[in-house]
Structure 1
Amino acid sequence: MDGARGSESRTERAWIVETPGPVARGPLRAVRRPVPEPGPGEVRVRVEACGVCRTDLHLAEGDLAPHRPGTVPGHEVVGRVDAAGANATRFALGDRIGIAWLRHTCGECKYCAAGHENLCPNSAYTGWDADGGFAEHAVAPEEFAYPLPNGTDPEHLAPLLCAGIIGYRALERAELPPGGRLGIYGFGASAHLAAQVALARGATVHVMTRAEPARRLALALGAASAQGTYEPPPERLDSAIVFAPVGDVVPAALEALDRAGTLALAGIHLTDVPVLNYQRHLFYERQIRSVTANTRRDGTEFLRTAADIGLEVTTTPYPLDRADRALADLAADRVHGAAVLLPD
């Protein structure tokens, strides 16, 4: 299949990270660029929706060092295949697919061989190593794309592709026992999805977050309690996940754990963690586990789970032309649920 011809002279709207820095200084710049062409084994989609992830904010502000100049952010991409490169046969033109954060692994290193492709030293990422979905078209290797259903609004599919997948992996890393007590610190795009998976598994969920609208959302979704970020939950926790990119939260989360509890740190970036007190924070075999990207198996399992439990995705939509506003609102905690860009 080869639908890649005929767009060489066309241009499209896109946003690039020009000079990383505080979002108030406008690190995103709107541009017109040639419509990208898929290479061998790649497909191109006409973007229907693209989620705005906190990782995009970290890239724009320089918390993540840019891997290339002028990168188009966005790695929660939903679109219809409209072109394919040589030897790309997995999808047909018109298929709806998702493009996520992980876009390449070597498949040969010891990590890939052991099923830990998220740790591959030669991995590459959408919106960091290659252009993402803050544009009208996006290109990705077909082997790293996910088939998506036709009957769901693209706006509510987009956050599943990173916020959902990473939240799912963080939940697995937190080793929540059956019917256990889970604490969630920060309640944005990823957390509100992970909470629903935990609730569907019979967990009791307690949410600690600074924003009052987020606390209301947590309670509406079924959380047993919702309080301020540094307030203790009403009972000891078997597991906890820190979604907030704030290292100061870690001691509070550890202190809330019961004996043998596990804390998972879900973010790709975290400010410095304060000095921990061994007896107060770590004794009784409490443990901390980091979360690094995801495997394709995580993505497949999560998307199946999301469909099975009827996940409720809360979004705040923005037109593509307001991507800079979406990023600023995310930085200021003004986004309800997940921010999503809609090109049309």
Structure 2
Amino acid sequence: MAGRTQETATQTDVWVVDRPGPVRTSPLRRIRRSVPEPGPHQVLVRVDACGVCRTDLHLAEGDLPVHRVSCVPGHQVVGRVVRSGEPAEGLGEGDRVGVAWLAGTCGSCAYCRSGRENLCPQSRYTGWDLDGGYAGYTLADARFVHRLPEDWPEDELAPLLCAGIIGYRALARARVPVAGRLGIYGFGASAHITAQLALARGATVHVLTRAEAARRLALELGAASARRAYDAPPEPLDSAILFAPVGDLVPVALSALDRGGTLAVAGIHLSTIPALDYAAHLFQERTLCSVTANTRADARAFLEEAERLRPRVHVERYPMDRADRALADLAGDRVTGAAVLMNGQRPP
């Protein structure tokens, strides 16, 4: 082992998805576990902050199938390397890294070889296939972690590692034209970062979301309009991104598109889509597409762009021992922007 430290604890508190079910049934349980040892290509990361993603909620509530029994959720991890296995891809003790959703791929299938590793049939995901960051320490494949800048607060960095990355890919999938008109449906962690990327690229952004506080935030960040989720935008849209996991909004968003427009659905889970009317929703070359995870190239490109842009990341902080409360607040639309779990700190 390289970079071994004497300060690493031998035990750590972790949150696990014990029995998936509605948040009111307390599907998260806090237990004590041994700190794991890194194997080949792995690093042990001390978790400083971990973003709370709606995917965590889908896993906890059983919207997604169980891949790992009593799995530790969390895939927006900011921390420090404390130990590493060999080889560790040049990472050593003390390096600041981010652990994101994509945790591993086969590297040899047709999708991996063609730069589409997000579609790898053997892809694995942090907090679903592997234990994640609702903990004091987590293991990660060094080939899939990301070096992070030192001069950015960990609570603001954490949401970039999924909310930011998936929004970046969603913008690409939505094919927003230069100076285009973009509609964003739902305005949580990912959407409020994505909106700032789109604005910086010259787009006009219209936000449609049910929460009044989210609409206020959208206008503060520069959106041209902010209306209720089922309202029509003030002008036809060239592109739209659906972040809300609400299938009923698919025909609504398609109806808002101009000719040749594209709707990208950015969530991992979506409730049932109602029947579409071809003439009203798809004719005139409107396109409906999905967004599936991300590639490491997406992550690198987004983090480089974000470091230049420095988007305003609106954060609501929770101590790690209140992860169940954070998830309940997310489920109840009581989070504006992004919720982040903090180790060793309590929110002001």
TM superposition score normalised by structure 2: 0.97
Q: Structure 2: any 5+ residue segments left out of the alignment?
A: none
After the TM superposition, which of the residue ranges 81-90 and 174-183 deviates more from structure 2? Answer: 81-90
Q: Distance in 1 between matches of 2:53 and 2:92?
A: 28
Verify: 1:104 aligned to 2:104, yes or no: yes
| Contact 1:4 1:85 (8 Å CA) reproduced | no
Distance in 2 between residues matched to 1:231 and 1:138, nearest whole Å:
43
Structure-1 residue corresponding to 2:115:
115
Three-state SS of the structure 1 residue aligned to 2:164 is helix
What amino acid maps onto 2:332 in structure 1?
A
Q: Which residue of 2 aligns with 1:188?
A: 188
Deviation at 1:4, TM superposition (A): 5.0
- How far has the Cα of 1:6 moved from its partner? 6.1
1:194 is matched by which residue type in structure 2? T
Shift of 1:162: 0.3
Partner of 1:83: 83
Q: 1:132 to 1:219 in 2, by over 3 A?
A: same
Match in the other structure for 2:308: 308
Matching residue's letter, 1:47: V
Structure 2 partner of 1:225: 225
Distance change >3 Å, CA 161–CA 9, structure 1 → 2: closer
CA drift at 1:93? 0.8
TM-superposed CA distance for 1:3, in Å, is 3.6
Offset, 1:309: 1.1
Specify the alignment match of 1:92 in structure 2: 92
Aligned counterparts, 1:66-77, within 5 A: 66-77=66-77
Identity of aligned residues (%): 63
The answer for the alignment partner of 2:251 in structure 1 is 251
Q: Work out the CA distance in 2 between the residues paired with 1:7 and 1:194.
A: 38
**8 Å CA contact 1:208, 1:227 repeated in 2:** yes
Unaligned runs of 5+ in 1: none
Inter-partner Cα distance in structure 1 for 2:266 and 2:133: 22
Residue of structure 1 in register with 2:293 after alignment: 293
Q: TM-score, normalised by structure 1?
A: 0.98
CA distance in 1 between counterparts of 2:52 and 2:186 reads 17
CA distance in 2 between partners of 1:74 and 1:189 (Å): 14
Give CA-to-partner distance per residue, 1:231-264, whole Å, 9 cap, x none: 0000000000000000000010000000000000
Give the distance between the partners of 1:201 and 1:232, measured in 2 at CA.
Answer: 24
Summarize deviations over 1:280-331 as a string: whole Å, max 9, x none: 1111110101000000000000001111112111110000000000000000
Q: 1:334 aligns to what SS in structure 2? A: coil
Q: For residues 279 and 131 of structure 2, what CA distance do their matches in structure 1 show?
A: 46
Q: In structure 2, the residue corresponding to 1:50 is in which secondary structure?
A: strand
Secondary structure at 1:322 match in 2 = helix
Q: Which residue of 1 aligns with 2:15?
A: 15
Q: Which amino acid aligns with 1:103?
A: A
Rounded Cα–Cα distance in structure 2 between residues aligned with 1:116 and 1:7: 40
CA distance in structure 2 between the partners assigned to 1:298 and 1:25 by the alignment:
36
Task: Give the conservation status (yes or no) of the 8 Å contact 2:106–2:122.
Answer: yes
Match of 1:167 in 2: 167
Q: Note closer, same or farther for the CA distance 1:7–1:36 as it changes in structure 2 (3 Å cut).
A: farther
Give the superposition deviation at 1:86: 2.4
- Residue in structure 2 matched with residue 124 of structure 1 by the alignment: 124
C-alpha separation in 1, matches of 2:189 and 2:129: 23
The residue type equivalent to 1:152 in the other structure is W
Q: CA RMSD in A?
A: 1.2
The alpha-carbon deviation at position 7 of structure 1 amounts to 8.3
Tell me how far apart the structure 2 counterparts of residues 305 and 39 of structure 1 sit (CA, whole Å).
32
Q: Measure, in 2, the Cα distance between the counterparts of 1:296 and 1:9.
A: 31
Conserved? CA contact 1:103–1:144, under 8 Å: yes
Matched position secondary structure for 1:130: coil
- The residue identity in structure 2 corresponding to 1:136 is G
